Amino acid sequence: MTWLVNDNRSARGAGVRLAELWRQPEILRIPGAHNPLAALLAKRAGFKAVYLSGAALSASLGLADLGLLTLDELSFFTRAICRVVDLPVVVDIDTGLGGVLNVMRTVHELEEAGAAAVQLEDQALPKKCGHLSDKQLVSVEEMAAKVAAAVRARRDLRIIARTDAAASEGLEGAIRRAHAYLAAGADAIFPEALADAESFRRFAAAIPAPLLANMTEFGRTPHFTAQQFAEFGYKMIIWPVSSLRIAARAVEELYNHLAREGSATAMLPRMQTRAELYETIGYFDYEALDSAIARSTLPKTERHG
């Protein structure tokens, strides 16, 4: 079924469904999906929610992750992903795209686009990737005001407050900030760039709320499994940029091969076939919606695609 037909849309709000998932006994695994096709593939793999990373989306647009995304860009990709997968989508809104009023506008627009939750961080602009050095933070009061504004603007969308304070204020500083953000109305907390298992455990023991762990590659956090994060006390885990990194390396290798060989034939075993792509996007379901379109017959090739 395609998104043009709404028979498969859930009657419950996306935020409600996300909260139900993070209340289940097992940790909620949330892969990054930097575009709608990636989200479709995540759903086919069995994931129950997806994450739209600001870093991955910025990189896909050829931009650095320095808070350069616009609300139009973020809304467009959120809407496009939410149309094709009836899964809760967690959207990274960085610093909220400005001050208190900007946060309210961002929350309103993204909930209209279908987002289940937004992740709001306590960095100052220009923000950085959470695993880089010399991040600058806003005051606790300013971030708490943004969280409260986000809560006031939402209907059932969930607010995940991220703190980057561990690097500059220590773990206790991050814990103090997390308590302030919960008091302002945050539904869940995301401690960024913790560097060892003990820090994750201590943070979880101190914060009485659902916690999100970031398992990004090439950062400050060691490679822990979903089960390990669950044992530390976390209810959600994201792999925010993994899909983009895999896709970018694959495309890079294809282009290098084409430049050398002048043919993509040797790369065929590494490609999704035409038939597999059409199955993923529901190509024939679209054709079936219009009786004027005859069902297409795929070219007969060795790999049917």
- What pTM was computed for the model? 0.92
Share of the chain above pLDDT 70, in %: 96
Using alpha carbons, select from 199, 304, 206 the residue that is nearest to residue 189. 206
- Give yes or no for residue 134 having a pLDDT over 80: no
* 191 strand-pairing partners: 163
Q: Tell me, what DSSP letter sits at residue 201? A: H
Q: Tell me, what DSSP letter sits at residue 191? A: E
Q: What are phi and psi of 158, to 5 degrees?
A: -95, 145
**Pairwise pLDDT comparison (245 vs 135), residue with the higher score:** 245
Tell me the C-alpha distance between 115 and 160, whole Å.
12
- What does the pLDDT average to over 135-143? 94
Amino acid at 185: G
Q: At what angle do helices 100-113 and 71-84 cross, to 10 degrees?
A: 20
Instruction: Output the CATH code of domain 6-240.
Output: 3.20.20.60
- Give yes or no for residue 185 having a pLDDT over 60: yes
Cβ(127)–Cβ(121) below 8 Å: yes
Per-residue pLDDT, 86: 93
- Give yes or no for residue 305 having a pLDDT over 60: no
Per-residue pLDDT, 303: 58
127 to each of 67, 90, 266, 296, how far by Cα in Å? 6, 19, 42, 48
* 158 strand-pairing partners: 117
- What does the pLDDT average to over 160-164? 97
- Give yes or no for residue 304 having a pLDDT over 60: no
* 163 strand-pairing partners: 191
Tell me the C-alpha distance between 188 and 152, whole Å.
16
pLDDT in tens, 75-109: 999 999 999 999 999 999 999 999 999 999 999 99
Where b means 16+ CB within 10 Å and e means fewer, 101-122 reads: ebbbbbbebbbebbbbbbbbbb
Per-residue pLDDT, 10: 66
Domain residue ranges in the chain: 6-240
Whether residue 31 is preceded by a cis peptide bond, meaning omega within 30 degrees of 0, is no
Tell me the C-alpha distance between 202 and 206, whole Å.
6
40 to each of 3, 37, 143, 208, 277, how far by Cα in Å? 12, 5, 34, 34, 10
Mean pLDDT over each residue of the chain, to the nearest integer: 93
- Give yes or no for residue 179 having a pLDDT over 80: yes
